[in-house]
Amino acid sequence: MILDGKQIASEIRAELREQVCETKARGLRIPKLAVVIVGHNPASETYVANKIKACEEIGIEAERIALEDSVSEQQLLEVVHQLNNDPSVDGFIVQLPLPEHIAETTILSAIDYRKDVDGLTPENVGRTVQGLPSLVSATPRGIRELLARYNIVTEGKHVVVIGRSNIVGKPIAMLLMQRPYLSLPGMSAASLGDATVTICHSKTRDLAAICRTADIIIVAAGSPKLLTADMVKEGAVVIDVGINRMDDPASPRGYRLVGDVDYEHVAPKAAYISPVPGGVGPMTIVSLLQNTLQAYNEHIR
């Protein structure tokens, strides 16, 4: 069965639109997200455009703050401080990657964790680990929501995560191993957590053998067709987080998007599988909207 992130995301957007309408009807301030983009990375430009469009569609105000590649770390820090102190901004993100001369950790650490709708500050990561109320980064939040909406139980299951990034691998592993009573505000009621999680990465020995023991495999490695059919147990759940651009002269854009899973051969063995595009991607964007409303609801009080 296909995990239809596009469909689920559109259902969630309708729910969020309703929430924003109610807020407006009560005469309250409109929620606002700011997105900082540095330079002209084509993938980043597309992601940011999609995020802003998604905000506007549900009635959240969105501001794009574009800075040139030449911006200094100090100048970017000043923008972060301004956004931290701007009472009209409920949440903001600094789109990654940043140019080489800017230290990502310095910038992320400067973001006020209450406005960190990307869930990437050390404060939010630490709070998530300890099960405190936090903003969880968008892709892990979206994966968790996708599993919940398809009633996929994780309790006692062996989840194999491929990839150890701060943005996906580490946080999704943490969320799925948590005790469910630590579930986070604004998430679906289905209790997710209590899984036994193995995190694999580029130095893991015999990845295929480990994957074959998995009930759920989450692939976030950024490597096209990394997960092949021989690595997947019959009836496993497969979540593909990869978004890789492959040259394709036949496509109008000159490229097409492929995931980290050899979809054609893995899909027949999987009980559930998320496609690329239309799986995790739309869930990530909707999670950013959920995080913005979460930040707004806590900010407005």
295 binds ligand GUN (CB under 6 A): no
Specify whether 233 is catalytic. no
Among this protein's residues, is 51 annotated catalytic? yes
Contacts of 294 by beta carbon, 8 Å cutoff, 6+ apart: 117, 135, 185, 186
DSSP-derived letter for residue 266 is: H
Select from 66, 96, 177, 229 the one that contacts ligand GUN (CB under 6 A): 96
Backbone angles phi and psi of 244, in degrees to 5: -115, 135
In whole angstroms, give the CA distance from residue 73 to residue 137: 23
Catalytic one of 4, 32, 90, 95: 95
Shortest CB 108 distance to ligand GUN, Å: 9
C-alpha distance from residue 225 to each of 55, 130, 242, 255 (Å): 32, 34, 9, 16
C-alpha span between 34 and 296 (Å, rounded): 13
| Separation between Cα atoms, residue 217 and residue 58, nearest integer Å | 32
Task: From 20-28, 94-102, 144-152, 233-241, give the range in contact with ligand GUN by CB under 6 A.
Answer: 94-102
Query: What is the rounded CA–CA span in Å between residue 213 and residue 217?
Result: 10
Shortest distance (Å) from residue 51 CB to ligand GUN: 9
How many residues lie near ligand GUN (CB under 6 A)?
7
What is the nearest approach in angstroms of ligand GUN to the Cβ of residue 243? 9
The C-alpha torsion from 97 through 101 and 103 to 104, rounded to 10°, is -10
Nearest approach, Cβ of residue 247 and ligand GUN (Å): 21
Smallest distance from the beta carbon of 91 to ligand GUN, in angstroms?
12
Which of 4, 32, 51, 116 is flagged as catalytic?
51
Residue nearest to ligand GUN (CB): 96
138 binds ligand GUN (CB under 6 A): yes
Residue 203 falls in the annotated catalytic set: no
Q: Is 92 helix (H, G, I), strand (E, B) or coil?
A: strand
- Residue 156 phi/psi, 5-degree rounding, is 75, -5
209 Cβ contact partners less than 8 Å away, ≥ 6 residues apart: none
Q: Which of 52, 71, 92, 95 lies at the binding interface for ligand GUN (CB under 6 A)?
A: 95
Question: Which region among 22-30, 92-100, 152-160, 205-213 touches ligand GUN (by CB under 6 A)?
Answer: 92-100
Q: Does 121 bind ligand GUN (CB under 6 A)?
A: no
Nearer of residues 21 and 43 to ligand GUN, judged by Cβ: 43
154: left (phi over 0), alpha (psi -120 to 50) or beta: alpha
- Regarding 93 and contact with ligand GUN (CB under 6 A), the answer is yes
Nearer to ligand GUN, 4 or 116 (CB): 116
Give me the catalytic one of 4, 90, 116, 118. 118
Q: Which residues are catalytic?
A: 51, 95, 118
Residues forming contacts to ligand GUN in the complex (CB under 6 A) are: 93-96, 118, 138, 167
